[in-house]
Chains A and B, each alone.
Chain A
Amino acid sequence: MTIEQSQLPAVVAENEGAVQPTQAIRTPPLKIGSHTLSNRLILGTGRYDSFETMQRSLQTSGSDCVTIAVRQEKLHDGSGRNIIDFINLDRFTLLPNTAGCYDAATAVRCAKMGREILKRLENPGANWVKLEVLGDSRSLLPDPIESLKATERLAADGFEVLCYTSDDPIVARRLKDAGAAAVMPAGSPIGSGLGIANPNHLSIIRDDLKRDDPDFPLIVDAGVGTASDAAIAMELGYDGVLLNTAVAHAKDPIVMASAMNLAVQAGWMARKSGRIGKSRYGSASSPEIGVISDRQK
Chain B
Amino acid sequence: MSHSPDSSSLPGTPTTATPGGPTVVVNGRSVSFAGGTVGELLNTLEIKTRAIAVELNQEIVPADQHNDTRVAPGDQLEVVTLVGGG
Contact = CB atoms under 8 A, between A and B. Distances in A.
A290 to B, nearest CB: 57
Interface stretch (B5-13, B32-40, B42-50): B42-50
Interface of B: 1, 26-29, 45-55, 58, 60, 62-63, 78-86
Interface in A81-120: 82-84, 94, 96-97, 99, 109, 112-114, 116-117, 119-120
Contacts of B85: 44-46, 67-69, 97, 99, 244
A70 B82 contact: yes
Nearest to B26: A75
A121 B51 contact: yes
Interface of A: 44-48, 54, 67-73, 75-78, 80, 82-84, 94, 96-97, 99, 109, 112-114, 116-117, 119-121, 190-191, 222, 242-245
A113 B60 CA distance: 7
Contact of A109 (B26, B55, B62): B55
A113 B55 contact: yes
The dominant DSSP class at the A interface is: mixed
Given A109-B55, A117-B52, A68 B46 contact: no
Contacts of B26: 75
Contacts of B53: 70, 112-114, 116-117, 120
Contacts of A47: 84, 86
A202 to B, nearest CB: 19
B84 A121 contact: no
A182 B49 CA distance: 31
A68 B83 contact: yes
B83 to A, nearest CB: 5
Given A45-B85, A68-B83, 8 more contacts: A48-B84, A70-B82, A76-B45, A77-B46, A83-B82, A84-B49, A109-B58, A190-B86
B51 A117 contact: yes
